Structure 1
Amino acid sequence: MMQHVPQVLSKAAVADIRQQLDQHTAWIDGQHSAGPQAKKSKHNLQFDPQHLVYPALAEQIEQALRQHPLVQSATLAKHILRPMFNCYQQQGTYGNHVDSAVHYSAAHQQLIRTDVSMTLFLSEPEEYQGGELVIEDTYGAHEVKLDAGDVILYPATSLHRVEPVTAGRRIAAFTWAQSMIRDDWQRSMLFNLDMTIGQLRQQLGDNEQVLQLTAHYHNLLRQWGEL
């Protein structure tokens, strides 16, 4: 399931993060974090996670993701890895690839399975040319280029790429979540059910039918969830 989540960060928050990222020369070659296969097609920059300002910026992004109701519902996250920041410019690109299935989380001191990929855009679409995130699924290829502060969520199993940036700079934060629901289809069903329950509550209040649907949602979560 792909899900666009608008305004996870306010424009003011985006501007503050961009100011801090732009004023430090802490961008390093993105191939430092690439595996042997990815090194052949990964041509971007990443903000150095050893830089002094990185922890606070990453924490701000992580908290915004954790606290957003739509992100919570779509990911049912058990863990969210500490976000990182990348920059594409001067024909920077990342060819077709699938994200690694497992990452080590220093914060949790354990391995985290990557179920949901998340990209939070920090550049407005008019700031750069090209740079579309292209995600492939059974319905074809989907180009994503969102407003600054918006997030795209998609299955980490997806083949995806970033098209070359031919002008300007494309800056984004990216991370992964391990979901309580490993299966993407089950996660999608629960998300759709949760959205339907929310709409019915607004229209009808907590009547008997809405309460029954809510019970059904939580029983499915008990059946499918991994804690």
Structure 2
Amino acid sequence: MLLTIDEVLSAAEVEHARTLLAQARWIDGRSSAGPLAREVKNNLQIAEDCPTLAPLRRLVLQALEREPLVFSAVLPRDIFPPQFNRYRAIGEGEHYGPHVDAAIRLVGERKLRTDVSATLFFSAPEEYDGGELVIHDLFGTQRVKGKAGSIVIYPASSLHEVTPVTRGERLASFMWFQSLVPDPVERRLLFELDMATLTLRSEHGEGALAARFSTLYHNLLRRWSV
């Protein structure tokens, strides 16, 4: 499932984030890539010891926690600390060629399974040319160039890429989630059932049918979660 959610960050939060990003210390993005991804990765990311990284992470995590659609779509058990990248119009354009995210990431001494990937945009689409997030999966090939403050969520198992930036600069945060429901088909069914239940309640209020929908949702979640 691919889902874009607008206004995860307010305009003021985007502006604050961009101020912090302007003060950041950037390093070669290949430093965090595996052997295969390193061959196709050409961008910058914030160094782990950069003082602005912690407040940027807090900003992103607080925004994710207050957005109910993120919880419904991801059903997060854990999240890899958000990272931040930068693509510039240098040479033929900084980019990240076709790759798939590593299945397991280390968070300290813990191992996190990457079920869901997400990109949160800080640059408005009119600020740069190129820089599209292209996702190839069973739903076909999708090209995403989100609004500033929006997030796109998609399966971490997807082959994806960022096309070369040929004008301006693309600033974004990227992250991975381990979901309570690892299976993407089951996760999508639960999301659609949750959305249908919300629609039923908004149109007809609480009642026996809404209660049955809710019971079905929670029993499926109980059955499928790990």
Q: Tell me, what secondary structure is at the counterpart of 1:187?
A: helix
* 1:148-204 deviations in Å (ceiling 9; x for gaps): 000000000000000000010000001011000000000000000000000110111
The within-5 A match list for 1:49-128 is 49-89=48-88, 90=90, 91-106=93-108, 109-128=109-128
Q: 2:27 aligned with 1:28, yes or no?
A: yes
Match of 2:195? 195
Q: Tell me, what secondary structure is at the counterpart of 1:37?
A: helix
Q: CA RMSD in A?
A: 0.8
2: CA distance, partners of 1:128 / 1:46: 18
Q: Is the 8 A contact 2:23 2:52 kept in 1?
A: no
Q: Is the 8 A contact 1:49 1:55 kept in 2?
A: no
2: CA distance, partners of 1:172 / 1:214: 36
Q: Tell me, what secondary structure is at the counterpart of 2:148?
A: coil
Q: 2:204 aligned with 1:204, yes or no?
A: yes
* 1:6-52 deviations in Å (ceiling 9; x for gaps): 1110011010010111133x010001111111111000000112111
The alpha-carbon deviation at position 144 of structure 1 amounts to 0.1
TM-score between both structures, scaled by the size of structure 1: 0.96
The alpha-carbon deviation at position 139 of structure 1 amounts to 3.6
More displaced 10-residue stretch of structure 1: 61-70 or 198-207: 61-70
Q: Is the 8 A contact 2:130 2:165 kept in 1?
A: yes
Q: Is the 8 A contact 1:59 1:82 kept in 2?
A: no
1: CA distance, partners of 2:225 / 2:19: 40
- Amino acid paired to 1:51: C
Match of 2:12? 12
The alpha-carbon deviation at position 63 of structure 1 amounts to 2.0
* Number of aligned residue pairs: 223
* 1:64-85 deviations in Å (ceiling 9; x for gaps): 1122100000000000111010
Q: Tell me, what secondary structure is at the counterpart of 2:149?
A: coil
Structure 1 segments of 4+ aligned residues over 2 angstroms from their partners: none
The runs of 5 or more residues in structure 2 that have no matched partner are none
- Amino acid paired to 1:80: I
Q: 2:171 aligned with 1:171, yes or no?
A: yes
